[in-house]
Amino acid sequence: KLVDVSAEMPACDWSPGCYLGFLGPSMGLAVDRVGTVLVAYHAGISPQSPQQLYIRASEDGGLTWSERRQISSQDPAVNNAFPAVAAGPAPDDFRVIWQDDRIREQTGWNTWYRRTTDGGQTWSLPVRLSNQPFGASYKDWAGYAFPYGDYLELEVGDDGTNYAIWGEGGSYDGPGGTWYTRGQENR
């Protein structure tokens, strides 16, 4: 499907923007083997408020979309960021990972996982992937201090195995590292 036919950037008048923070909106997208599209994205309900994680699904190639569903913590004070989506081997099977700070500690950021097998209608309980309290100076029982979410990815193998990789650190400037896990969920 052709997405864009423009040959050059349109003329624009640029002006300095305002930097509202590192956790600007982002989204992940996946398409299952029968063409269902699922997007996960984070958005705030008011300016500069913590952003919640939502999903929408489309069964007609993106012409129409389901109502948004929140799949993150229901706590409005929790920041959610950097979703990645992957389609599983069966129709309507999608998995989402993201980072949030629901554990209200200085090192309370973690990477989380959820799965749907009905195209986004219902979801598994959240699973904390970043549950290792050791291995780096910036980690403890609560998690890590800063999400490097633009270094986050999820893939699903033909046998349903999840492969997740993400970046995390002690601050925006580091130190930080890349963490990887794989496995299948018992459903």
Confidence at residue 187, expressed as pLDDT on a 0 to 100 scale: 55
pLDDT of residue 44: 84
DSSP code for 76: T
**pLDDT value for 12:** 53
Rounding to the nearest 10 degrees, give the CA dihedral for residues 94, 146, 127, 136: 120
Dihedrals phi, psi of 57, to nearest 5 degrees:
-130, 155
Q: Can you give the pLDDT at residue 94?
A: 98
- Splitting the chain (187 residues) into consecutive groups of 10 residues, what average pLDDT does each group show? 43 52 76 97 84 94 93 92 96 97 85 97 96 86 87 95 94 90 80
What is the residue extent of each domain of the chain? 27-183
What six digits make up the tokens of 40? 């996960």
> Domain 27-183 is of which CATH architecture?
6 Propeller (2.120)
CA atoms within 13 A on the CB side of 8: 3
**Residues whose CB is less than 8 angstroms from the CB of residue 134 and which lie 6 or more positions away in sequence, other chains included:** none
Statement: the pTM of the whole predicted model exceeds 0.75: yes
